[in-house]
């Protein structure tokens, strides 16, 4: 192999994510020099995103020293400081590529990036060989590892030095054959707020997928001080934060203000710090309440935030925090309707009980199906859409709460004229306790999410189907406030 004169280049292999990196080495009569790790140049050349946190060195003085085949739950960048090695890699991840093999020789001018779950093994070809590997998670004896026998007949690695003449550890000799290997599962998805309307919709969207975990408030509380130690965060690829303090009016009280900031800002900040450190994709749910509702058009994702009340202020602050995470999706939505107590179920209950409600007619927006919102989140993740903020609501013309109430009455076979439209001021005139200011215009522009290939459901079609389903279910007595 040629040591000098190479140009930095990243080459793909038959194993997805495993790449060989050709490194420029500069030499003269004094020896040689190379940039062994240069993140900016290497990422630009095609290396996957990689932020190492640990640097390990392995030295072998005897030719034929052989280590492996080990698959760890982190990514690894392996290079040679001195000498030469034969490397063998086997895909031990769950999926159709399980068992795929790639081999290559490495010297100071050639390195390899090994993704999580790909088994790696090395055999020294020269004496006094030292190789270096950078990893993006700290070693832990509690982590999940997968191993394969170096002599497995199925992968049939052609070792330059036969294993019966090589230096092996007793542990490596005892590793299982491929047929007995438990594949390393993919990094997990953690869904917080799993018992809310969106959380329940995400349960339906992801079903019983083994790599998806659901956590309610009592499983992982954002306000606790030990979030960093609550999980082995390196095992997660995605965190979807559907948890929030959403008591809009109560947030205006001293106790509510403290609780809202604790969950929506302090807790989110802790998660954001973890996500940034571990390379986790952070999905965060935002709200129309981050705007003051004074524009005469639908709000775009990059419009300046101008919240009116405490709840909106905490959501806006949370958005700014999440935007600092390298891999993030801020999904902004409004007027979410799903499985649980909500405005539509309240109106349906009133209609069926002969009560004629007064409903505000000067707040404009669109309903959002929690199921549609969950599907949009999965779409962004699976298509790896560009990171950033996306508006997601139902599609169609914006309308008022009073108009929606009339639609519900009509769809339930009731007289829509039983709904009286009143102003926000009239509605809250007799309210006891704190009342949060509401944005008058909550309509969100959907062109960005549509540009990714996702089409939000039509609001009218969703509402008709929702009411029909709710009418057919028994025992529904929602308690949400009419607004």
Catalytic positions, written as ranges: 70, 133
Helix (H) or strand (E) holding 70: strand 66-71
* Residues 25 and 79: beta-carbon distance below 8 Å: no
Go through 136-145 and write b for each residue having 16 or more CB atoms within 10 A of its CB, e for each that does not: bbeeeeeeee
Distances (CA, A) of 366 to 103, 164, 406: 56, 71, 15
- Rounded Cα gap, residues 391 and 371, in angstroms: 15
Tokens representing 79 are 């290079």
Q: What does DSSP say about strands 281-287 and 328-333: parallel, antiparallel, or unpaired?
A: parallel
- Rounded Cα gap, residues 265 and 249, in angstroms: 18
Nearest to 89 by CA among 79, 99, 80, 81: 99
CA 381 to chain centre: 7
- Rounded Cα gap, residues 45 and 48, in angstroms: 9
- Rounded Cα gap, residues 214 and 242, in angstroms: 10
Q: What does DSSP say about strands 118-124 and 129-135: parallel, antiparallel, or unpaired?
A: unpaired
Q: How far apart are the first and last CA of the chain?
A: 73
H runs (alpha helix) in 15-68:
39-45
- The structure tokens 């952070």 sit at 282
Q: Which residues pair with 353 in a beta bridge?
A: none
Distances (CA, A) of 29 to 5, 7, 386, 413, 461: 15, 21, 48, 92, 77
């Amino acid at each position: 192999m040629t040591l000098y004169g190479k140009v930095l280049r990243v080459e793909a292999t038959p194993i997805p994510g495993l790449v060989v990196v050709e490194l420029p080495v500069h030499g003269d009569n004094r020896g040689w020099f190379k940039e062994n790790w240069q993140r900016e140049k290497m990422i630009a050349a095609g290396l996957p995103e990689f932020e190492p946190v640990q640097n390990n060195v392995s030295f072998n003085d005897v030719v034929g020293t052989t280590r492996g085949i080990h698959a760890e739950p982190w990514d690894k960048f392996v290079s040679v400081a001195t000498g030469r090695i034969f490397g063998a890699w086997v895909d031990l991840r769950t999926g159709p590529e399980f068992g795929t093999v790639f081999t290559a020789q490495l010297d100071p001018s050639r390195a390899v990036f090994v993704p999580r779950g790909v088994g790696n093994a090395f055999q020294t070809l020269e004496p006094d060989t030292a190789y270096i590997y950078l990893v993006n998670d700290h070693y832990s004896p509690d982590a999940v590892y997968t191993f394969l026998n170096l002599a497995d007949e199925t992968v049939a690695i052609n070792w330059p030095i036969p294993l019966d003449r090589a230096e092996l550890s007793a542990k490596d000799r005892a590793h299982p054959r491929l047929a007995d290997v438990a594949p390393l599962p993919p990094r997990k998805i953690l869904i917080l707020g799993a018992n809310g309307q969106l959380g329940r919709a995400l349960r339906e969207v992801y079903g019983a997928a083994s790599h998806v975990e659901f956590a309610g408030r009592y499983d992982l509380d954002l306000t606790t001080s030990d979030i960093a130690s609550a999980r082995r965060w390196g095992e997660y690829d995605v965190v979807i934060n559907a948890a929030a303090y959403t008591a809009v009016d109560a947030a205006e009280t001293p106790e509510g203000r403290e609780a809202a900031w604790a969950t929506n800002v302090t807790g989110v900040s802790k998660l954001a710090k973890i996500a940034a450190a571990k390379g986790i994709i952070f999905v965060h749910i935002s709200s129309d309440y981050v705007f003051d509702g004074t524009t005469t058009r639908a709000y775009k994702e990059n419009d300046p935030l101008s919240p009116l009340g405490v709840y909106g202020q905490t959501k806006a602050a949370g958005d700014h925090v999440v935007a600092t995470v390298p891999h993030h999706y801020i999904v902004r939505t409004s007027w979410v309707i799903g499985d649980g107590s909500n405005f539509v179920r309240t109106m349906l209950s009133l209609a069926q009980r002969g009560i004629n409600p007064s409903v505000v007619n000067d707040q404009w927006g669109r309903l959002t199906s929690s199921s549609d919102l969950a599907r949009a989140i999965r779409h962004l993740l699976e298509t790896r859409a560009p990171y950033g903020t996306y508006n997601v609501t139902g599609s169609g013309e914006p309308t008022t709460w009073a108009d929606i109430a009339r639609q519900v009455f009509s769809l339930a076979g009731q007289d829509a004229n039983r709904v009286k439209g009143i102003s926000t001021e009239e509605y809250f005139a007799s309210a006891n306790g704190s009342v949060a200011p509401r944005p008058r215009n909550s309509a969100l522009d959907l062109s960005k999410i549509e540009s990714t290939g996702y089409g939000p459901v039509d609001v009218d079609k969703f509402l008709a189907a929702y009411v029909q389903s709710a009418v057919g279910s028994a025992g529904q007595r929602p308690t949400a406030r009419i607004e």
